[in-house]
């Protein structure tokens, strides 16, 4: 990966496996939106930015220090996803899935934001998840002025922990409201240390997260993969259950993919959810 910095943006060159649409629309994040020109605008870690494709390069708005302090790590730009894709081609199905999903990168998201967002994701579709998350930010986050508009940061667990589930009514999260507040309180009261979990084992993180009301295997694994950045986590939802049953026998375990099982999961999920299997891709 190489980059050049200009007055108001950074251009990333000589990078493979970085497709904006696939990365932002594979179900791992909920705060990036695209305009008619293919430019994505989003907020992460209290920073707003625009990101777009220019030929074979990727451009990110902002100064060089923003790129080095936030976006380089957030987009996992120093990891060789091409080599990982090659290592995941363990059978014919995965060759198809990795080819179709080439360009997906696993974002290194804020731990609390990932936990809260995937609690919201339960029994929900992506447009509604995004709507609830944006309402949460608008109601309880801090305003960010960017490119002539006002965006909002993701509210911290300290802010949400002070609320009652009833006070979350404006975001229309339904039964999830009590889970959101409960998770925030667990962090603020010291029962859940997300930073410590990120430094520990997958097994200990899974056990700790599942102690939270409203967090089961699927949500916990999403948080571990997208928030704690443990790339061996393998979330399983209805799409993945169907995919596994159709392409693997009952002896299947994610261990076949080794330390990058979570990246394999994203290729499989994106491939299945796209409907490509049904049209013979």
Catalytic residue set: 218
**Distance between CA atoms of 125 and 35, rounded to whole angstroms?**
21
Return the closest-CA partner of residue 33 out of 139, 126, 142: 126
**Distance between CA atoms of 23 and 34, rounded to whole angstroms?**
12
**Distance between CA atoms of 77 and 2, rounded to whole angstroms?**
10
248 phi-psi bin (left φ>0, alpha ψ -120 to 50, beta other): beta
The CA-based angle 256-257-260, given to 5 degrees, is: 155
Q: Please, what is the angle between helix 217-226 and helix 111-120, to 10°?
A: 150
Q: Are 226 and 198 in contact (CB under 8 A)?
A: no
* Residue entry with tokens 């493979």: 16
* Residue entry with tokens 């050049």: 4
**Distance between CA atoms of 219 and 122, rounded to whole angstroms?**
8
Name the burial class of residue 14, with classes exposed (0-12), middle (13-18) and buried (19+) by CB atoms within 10 angstroms of its CB. exposed
Q: Are 180 and 166 in contact (CB under 8 A)?
A: no
**Distance between CA atoms of 261 and 90, rounded to whole angstroms?**
12
Return the closest-CA partner of residue 24 out of 137, 105, 121: 105
């Amino acid at each position: 990966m190489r980059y050049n910095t200009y007055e108001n943006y950074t251009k990333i060159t000589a990078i493979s496996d970085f497709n904006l649409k696939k990365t932002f629309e594979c179900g791992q994040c909920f705060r990036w939106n695209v305009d008619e020109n293919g430019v994505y605008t989003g907020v992460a870690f209290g920073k707003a930015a625009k990101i777009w494709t220019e030929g074979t390069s990727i451009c990110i708005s902002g100064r060089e220090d923003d790129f080095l302090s936030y976006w380089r790590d957030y987009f996992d730009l120093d990891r060789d996803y091409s080599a990982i894709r090659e290592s995941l081609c363990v059978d014919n199905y995965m060759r198809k899935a990795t080819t179709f999903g080439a360009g997906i990168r696993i974002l290194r998201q804020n731990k609390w934001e990932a936990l809260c967002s995937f609690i919201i994701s339960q029994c929900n579709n992506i447009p509604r998840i995004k709507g609830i998350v944006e309402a949460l930010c608008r109601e309880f986050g801090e305003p960010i002025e960017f490119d002539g508009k006002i965006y909002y940061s993701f509210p911290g667990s300290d802010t949400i922990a002070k609320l009652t589930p009833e006070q979350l009514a404006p975001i229309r999260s339904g039964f999830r409201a009590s889970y959101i507040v409960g998770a925030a309180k667990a962090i603020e009261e010291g029962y859940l240390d997300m930073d410590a979990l990120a430094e520990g084992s997958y097994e200990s993180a899974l056990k700790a997260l599942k102690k939270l009301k409203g967090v089961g295997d699927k949500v916990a694994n999403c948080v571990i993969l997208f928030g704690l950045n443990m790339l061996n986590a393998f979330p399983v939802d209805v799409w993945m259950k169907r995919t596994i049953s159709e392409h693997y026998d009952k002896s299947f375990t994610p261990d076949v993919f080794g330390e990058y099982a979570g990246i394999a999961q994203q290729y499989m999920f994106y491939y299945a959810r796209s409907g490509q299997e049904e049209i013979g891709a």
